Structure 1
Amino acid sequence: MLKTFRAWLKGSRLEWIDDVPTLGEQQIPVHVTLLENESVIDKQTRGQRMAEILEKLAGSQAFTDVDPVIWQQETRQDRSLPGR
């Protein structure tokens, strides 16, 4: 079973965040995957992408069988409403 360790990459050093692997002084080859930084995407592009996704969702009519009143009642069921 593979185990993943979290770390910060600073220059050419890794700083462990959670668990620290027991490696001793041996040199181990590693694979590092850098994820795309979300802040690179500008707000307009992100908003446009979100609008396209919401249009597709609306077009698929995925929530046609959901009654919004019943959904809201079920969602707020554990909370007592003042004055009611």
Structure 2
Amino acid sequence: MLKTFRAWLKGSRLEWIDHVPTLGEEQIPVHVTFLENESVIDKQARGRRIAEILEKLAVSQAFTDIEPVIWQQETRQDRSLPGR
């Protein structure tokens, strides 16, 4: 059975959070997985990027040839109801 130990990575050192494994002085190969920790700054930057893309899309007038009412009717076509 695999054992998992939690630790903080500081520079090139791991600092154990919970239980400390008994390792001695031997070298043990490890796998470290970085969990996504999305900060508020990343969300704000992504929001600004999305806004820029939408502005460019609006300026390019990519959707001027689409009639919204007809598009909606085609997209939301009624389906036949069972038993009717």
TM-score, length-normalised on structure 2?
A: 0.48
The structure with the larger Rg is 2
